[in-house]
Amino acid sequence: MDLLNQTMGALRVDKATLHDQVVARIRDLIVEGALTPGSRIDESALIEQLGVSRTPFREALRTLAAEGLVEIRPTRGSVVRKLTPDEVFSMLEVLAQLERLAAELACKRATEDQIASLLAMHDEMLVYYEKRERMPYFKLNQEFHRGIVGLSGNPVLVEIHGNLHARLKRIRFVGNRGPDFWADAVAEHEEMALALRARDGAQLGEIASRHMVNTWTRVRDAVS
């Protein structure tokens, strides 16, 4: 997103290296559920499917392990990291605090244009909600939250927030199944848009944080 690039600085053009491609590919397989949490990662099967050798594949596993998506057990193979309910709660607890910070910084540092662009995104989300189109809404929702964090102007915050989001993405996705919950989430977003328009950082932070904690009740049943 352009919004992000603005704050993140130089967008790198360099051709995606094989390593990055494999990382992205496996990450997708995990997020989309092709590789299920707790299941063993069959190296030989995957390298064949991906058409790469073990070297870039294993390096990819190392970075995914560092990202927390994969667990490498010495001499015993790798598994898709399985999140316990406690861990999910812990992540949301941290995310809530990070979004609170992001909200305050964004209200302090963002330009009017940037805020307007975020509000436009919010309006667009509402349209999808009216039409009950879950998938586009879901994607825009991710973008919206990423957008606020991006406007904080804090690259470290962006990075960490992005990582936690990636780890939770799958769970969030499956937890997005109740219409009742959906309405609640939309209402919270409405509040956030109001606070954002008013540049009320404390208020926005409060809502964003509450929004995140509420996510817990929305996804808790989805956690194995």
**Where do contacts with a second copy occur on this chain (CB under 8 A)?**
14-15, 17, 19, 55, 58-59, 62-63, 65-68, 74, 86-87, 90-91, 93-94, 97-98, 100-101, 105, 154-157, 159-160, 164
Query: Nearer Cβ to DNA, position 5 or 55?
Result: 55
Q: What's the rounded Cα separation, in Å, for the pair 64 and 163? A: 10
Residue number with CB closer to DNA (48 or 130)? 48
Report the residue number, 103 or 185, with the smaller CB distance to a second copy. Answer: 103
Q: For the residues of 157-210, what is the DSSP string, one character each?
A: HHHHHHHHHHHHHHHHHHT---HHHHHHHHHHHHHHHHHHHTT-HHHHHHHHHH
The CB-of-180 to a second copy minimum distance in angstroms stands at 28
Q: How far apart are CA 64 and CA 79, in angstroms?
A: 11
Q: Which does 52 bind (CB under 5 to 8 A by kind): DNA, a second copy, none?
A: DNA
- Enumerate residues 6+ apart whose C-beta is below 8 A from 185: 141, 211, 214, 218
Q: CA 171, CA 68: separation in Å to the nearest integer?
A: 14
70 DSSP β-pair partners:
80
Report the C-alpha gap between 73 and 79 in whole angstroms. Answer: 8
Q: Could you count the other beta carbons within 10 Å of the beta carbon of residue 49?
A: 11
User: What's the angle, vertex CA 146, arms to CA 142 and CA 148, rounded to 5?
Assistant: 125
62 binds, among DNA, a second copy, none (CB under 5 to 8 A by kind): a second copy
Q: How far apart are the C-alpha atoms of 222 and 37, rounded to whole Å?
A: 13
70 vs 148, which CB is nearer to DNA?
70
Residues that bind DNA (CB under 7 A): 17-19, 40-44, 52-56, 58, 72-78
67 binds, among DNA, a second copy, none (CB under 5 to 8 A by kind): a second copy
Q: How far is the CB of 163 from DNA (least distance, A)?
A: 22
Q: Which is nearer to DNA, 60 or 185 (CB)?
A: 60
Residue 43, binding choice from DNA, a second copy, none, Cβ under 5 to 8 Å by partner class: DNA
Residue type, 80: V
Nearer to a second copy among residue 52 and residue 160 (C-beta) = 160
Q: Which does 49 bind (CB under 5 to 8 A by kind): a second copy, DNA, none?
A: none
CB of 71 to DNA, least distance (A): 11
